[in-house]
Structure 1
Amino acid sequence: MKTLLKNAREKKGLKTRELAHLLEIDQALVSKFESGTRKPTKEQILKLANLLEIDYETLMVAWLKEKILYEIGDDNLALKALKVAEDEIKLNKKSSGKLTSKTLQSVLDEINILKSKLDQYRQYDSYRISQALELEYTFESNRIEGNTLTLRETDLVINEGLTISGKSMREHLEAINHQEAIAYIKHLMEKKTVINEREVLSIHNLILRGIHPEDAGRYRKVQVMIKGSTYMPPQPYMVAKDMEDFFIWYETHKNSLHPVVLAAEMHERLVTIHPFIDGNGRTSRLIMNLILLQHGYVIANIKGDYENRMQYYQSLETAQVHSNKEDFLLFIAQIEKESLERYITIIAP
């Protein structure tokens, strides 16, 4: 791992003191990482992977290997212990894989069939169709949060630059900002950019730009409550650590979960941390849809009408208060299934 870190740092043209500054640690610690006399923490591994553009899994495997070797050395029973540990890890993974209910798995199976059908029709995609569906997404996502612009008014604000009489400046900005945030996540998808702290903060910055400029792209420094919910988000001093764990969870699970489950999990985990003063819902839905787009799916557009909004909020609260995510995962899967069905109906020849 030490060679991997040093080579990656030099390739990026960074000096040890510059990397230390970015990591917010002492320069001597970076030198110890590279010499092998000190091991980074799990959180530092994630930061190093992002800063040095090293595949997280590659770096994590190297880190775990050295950790294991340090702990067991060349003990005569080491190989036997490793074999027992391997069997137990496989058993745990097998057990965790059974957590997906039959109902959810059934919907995922239907989604897989629809995704295969969509791939056959990709040649019929058009910019006009995407533009119309993205406009609907902006309208619905903002409607969930209380924005009163109609779909037609949202179109006039975004595409015609008009001001709607009787509507607040905030509502106008929410429409414009959200549309720009969609363009940004599509840009990230095309560049195959990994989801990291910088990108999440950039998405949030777009959402709150001109609305709460002092809070845009920044974690909250005060305690918040969620209106109409019994769930209490973590204290502000816990947010940075919870977000580190959020990105570690993503890196650990991004290649093992069904993309729709991964997207839904990331949405629920981010909105549960509630890292921002405002814009948590919109940012979480954008992160969810970035993951879906990265895997070739379509935007899961949650409707903002009363019935859908209540089902959305209630399933979220069940996940947050009772640690039962089944309803929420199923809700998102159903939304993606319906979005796929509609998209295929539109583009199919």
Structure 2
Amino acid sequence: MNTENFQSLLQRLTSLKKEMDQFRPLSKHQVQELEKDTRIEHVWSSNAIEGNRLDRFETASILNTGVTVHGASVKDILETLDLNQAYEYMMSLASKKEPLSQTTIRDLNRIVTLQTTQDKSEAGVYRAIEVWPNGFENHPYVNPIDIRPRMDQLIEWSSQNQSTLHPVVYAADLHLRFVSIHPFIDGNGRTARLLMNFALAQSGYPVINVQPNHEERYTYMDRLEQARSGNKQIFEELIAGYAEKELKRRIETLKLNEKNIREAQAEKGLTKRSITGYPRSNPKDPKIFRGR
């Protein structure tokens, strides 16, 4: 996608966001159900990208009912519980418009990895050894000695660019910059996707979830690596595509909600007077249990 087409995509996202904001909001109950579904989708997909073997329905069972899955590994279950807690923490911070800080990033990683890291003292602690993506030993992440200054730069970049970049570009770049540093021993991918959605939620955009099927996972990983090599727009385009799809889905949901409300109002046969005047059964009257 050339620069002109990418700018057109960003303009569509802005227009879709404005369109979404013009609709009547869903009821409190519907919002809660939608948010729960999005949270479960995030926990399942983000964990699955990293190799967690639980499927979406098993993840939902654990989070909704507390019922574990027969044959599931303890590690997979604990990763699910930890990421669910981290997601809720992330959304709480987003709702309060908390500025990005190293404390926030450390806390997110600490929650994500607390029950599954081999050494709990490593959760939220910057690594002291070199690491690299699988198959890219010749392209390691940031040298351990440079992690702290690079994280300082990340926070400074965030404070300078959050209000000037398009919200989706900012979210994608935050994800990319964090992953390129890879500051922790474990949980960097899950933490990066939380940070990306933290940025989106702060700007009023819906949470997006990268799907873990083979094709989309490969595309996601491949574009991240290309972006690390200098072509960051290719990753921004991927995230913008997910955002566009989710905005359109939300708008369709809001349209359906308004349609349902209009139909219910138009087809209402009872007036307030007829409702208040309607004879009500007395539960103590034995006649209500009899046939005619």
> Which range, TM-score by smaller chain?
0.7 to 0.9
Q: How does 1:9-24 map to 2 (within 5 A)?
A: none
Determine whether 1:228 maps to 2:128: no
Equivalents in 1 of 2:61, 2:50: separation in Å? 20
Summarize deviations over 1:259-283 as a string: whole Å, max 9, x none. Answer: 1000100000000000011111110
Larger RCO: Structure 1 or Structure 2 (Cα < 8 Å, ≥ 6 residues apart)? 2
**Using a 3 Å threshold, how does the CA distance of structure 1 residues 346 and 228 change in structure 2: closer, same or farther?**
farther
Aligned residue number for residue 104 of structure 1: 6
Aligned residue number for residue 201 of structure 2: 293
RMSD value, Cα? 1.4
Equivalents in 2 of 1:163, 1:124: separation in Å? 32
Verify the 8 A CA contact 2:95 2:201 in the aligned structure 1.
Answer: no
Aligned residue number for residue 306 of structure 1: 214
Letter of the structure 1 residue corresponding to residue 45 of structure 2: E
Summarize deviations over 1:7-52 as a string: whole Å, max 9, x none. Answer: xxxxxxxxxxxxxxxxxxxxxxxxxxxxxxxxxxxxxxxxxxxxxx
Equivalents in 2 of 1:199, 1:206: separation in Å? 11
Verify the 8 A CA contact 2:79 2:115 in the aligned structure 1.
Answer: no
Verify the 8 A CA contact 2:167 2:199 in the aligned structure 1.
Answer: yes
Equivalents in 2 of 1:228, 1:340: separation in Å? 35
Determine whether 1:256 maps to 2:256: no
Report how many aligned residue pairs link the two structures: 249
Equivalents in 2 of 1:282, 1:102: separation in Å? 32
Verify the 8 A CA contact 1:144 1:304 in the aligned structure 2.
Answer: yes
Aligned residue number for residue 249 of structure 2: 342
Determine whether 1:242 maps to 2:155: no
Q: Secondary structure at the match of 2:121?
A: coil
Identity of aligned residues (%): 33
Equivalents in 1 of 2:177, 2:24: separation in Å? 31
Q: Which runs of 5+ in 1 are unaligned?
A: 1-99
Q: Which has the larger radius of gyration?
A: 2
**Using a 3 Å threshold, how does the CA distance of structure 1 residues 122 and 265 change in structure 2: closer, same or farther?**
farther
Instruction: Give runs of ≥4 in structure 1 deviating > 3 Å.
Output: none
Q: How does 1:98-247 map to 2 (within 5 A)?
A: 101-121=3-23, 123-124=25-26, 126-212=31-117, 213-229=120-136, 230-247=138-155
Letter of the structure 2 residue corresponding to residue 339 of structure 1: E
Q: Which runs of 5+ in 2 are unaligned?
A: 258-292
- 1:122 Cα shift? 5.3
Q: Which deviates further from its counterpart, 263-272 or 332-341? A: 332-341
